[in-house]
Every structure is written in C-alpha cells, then in structure tokens.
C-alpha cells in the first residue's frame, strides 16, 4: 500500500502553444485546468486557441503529491502523459520514465526534443540527465541515483515540438514534481 499526499509529486504539465490567429467569432481560451481530489493538471497556451481544440487536451488528472514505498511501481498519468517511478528496497537507484499521451502525440508534427531531466536530491542540484530527440511515441527515461530511504527527489523536464493546432506553431510540455522514497515495502 502507498500513501498519496497533497503537495509532493507534481506532474505539473504546462503546455505553452505558439499558434496563429483564429476567428474572433470562435470561442477561445488560454488556459485549461482540472483538479480531482489529490490530482491537478494545467495546460497554458501563450496565445488564445480555439476552446474546442484545447478541451480535447484537457487533463483528467496528474499527481501532485506522494510518499513512495520501495519494491513498488508507480504510474502517474493524465491525458497529457504518463510519468513512472520505482525503487527496489535497499537500492540507491530509481528508474523513471515519461511517455507523451496519444492525444498529445496526435498534435505533434515531426520530432520531440527533450531537454534532459533536471533534478535535485534532498535539495541539492544533480547533473542534468541526457537529452533526447525522438518520435512522439518514444518512452523517455532515466535514473535517479545516490538515493536512500527518506531521500527526496525534485524534478523538471521540458519537451518541445511543433504542433498542428490552429495554424500550427511550437509547443512546450513541462513536467515537474517531487517525491520521497519511504523505504517501506510496497
């Protein structure tokens, strides 16, 4: 069993879209936000986009807090993507992954550029992980290292791609969060 608590892991998804002009008669929006219990997700557009197109990407849920037990696989997802994390009891490494959801993949034109995971261990900056340029369906992945029981990880990664909403443009998807590894068996 695991405990989810508000305010820890945040798979905070911010989707900033640079799009062309849309018809003034059409309903437009610059932000879509959903909160459901302990989950929240946010998509932000830097220029108004048609509401009907933005609502197709509206998130159902994304984790905002967790204490993670060992020997347990944790998938956290919403309609923007899925972040996973796991750590074996007594081990100092925790592999993570992120996959862009099919609904977001459907608006990607060309390749996705991942900046590389930036992260902190117990508040101390760690070396940025390797960047990737891949197809939209790629399983982006890496490993947090040097961990022990009750260690905290804060993370942020940025994915940039061309999109086909409205007249097209560039989108930036950012995931951020933090979680603590309890050392309790999952």
The pLDDT of residue 11 is 31
Say yes or no to pLDDT of 173 above 90. Answer: no
The pLDDT of residue 46 is 60
Sheet of strand 81-87, all strands in order from the earlier edge strand to the far edge: 72-78, 81-87, 94-100, 139-144
Q: Look at the block and give the residue holding tokens 């037990």.
A: 69
**Using one digit for the tens of pLDDT, what is the confidence trace for 81-103?**
888 999 999 999 999 999 999 98
Residue 42 token pair = 């946010």
**Using one digit for the tens of pLDDT, what is the confidence trace for 9-56?**
333 333 333 333 334 446 776 555 544 333 344 555 666 667 777 666
The pLDDT of residue 29 is 64
The pLDDT of residue 166 is 83
The pLDDT of residue 111 is 98
- Centre a 10 Å sphere on the Cβ of residue 151 and count the other Cβ atoms it contains: 18
**Using one digit for the tens of pLDDT, what is the confidence trace for 108-146?**
999 999 999 999 999 999 999 999 999 999 999 999 999
Give this prediction's pTM: 0.71
The pLDDT of residue 170 is 83
The pLDDT of residue 88 is 96
The pLDDT of residue 51 is 72
The pLDDT of residue 126 is 98
Cβ contacts of residue 61 below 8 Å, gap of 6+? 34, 36, 37, 39, 40, 41, 77, 78
Distance between CA 172 and CA 18 in Å, rounded? 9
């Amino acid at each position: 069993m695991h405990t989810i608590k508000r305010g820890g892991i945040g798979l905070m998804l911010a989707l900033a879209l640079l799009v062309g002009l849309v018809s003034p008669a059409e309903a437009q929006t610059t932000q879509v936000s959903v909160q459901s219990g302990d989950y929240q997700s946010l998509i932000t557009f830097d220029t108004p986009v048609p509401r009907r197109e933005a609502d197709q990407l509206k998130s159902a849920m994304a984790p905002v807090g967790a204490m993670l037990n060992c020997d347990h696989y944790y998938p956290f997802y919403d309609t923007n993507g899925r972040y996973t994390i796991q750590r074996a009891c007594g081990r100092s490494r925790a592999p993570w992954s992120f996959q862009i959801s099919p609904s977001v993949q459907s608006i990607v034109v060309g390749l996705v550029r991942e900046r590389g995971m930036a992260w902190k261990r117990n508040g101390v900056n760690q070396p940025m992980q390797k960047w990737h340029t891949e197809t939209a369906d790629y399983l982006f992945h890496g490993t947090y290292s040097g961990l022990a029981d009750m260690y905290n990880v804060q993370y942020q990664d940025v994915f940039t791609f061309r999109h086909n909403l409205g007249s097209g443009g560039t989108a930036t998807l950012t995931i951020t969060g933090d979680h603590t590894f309890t050392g309790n068996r999952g």
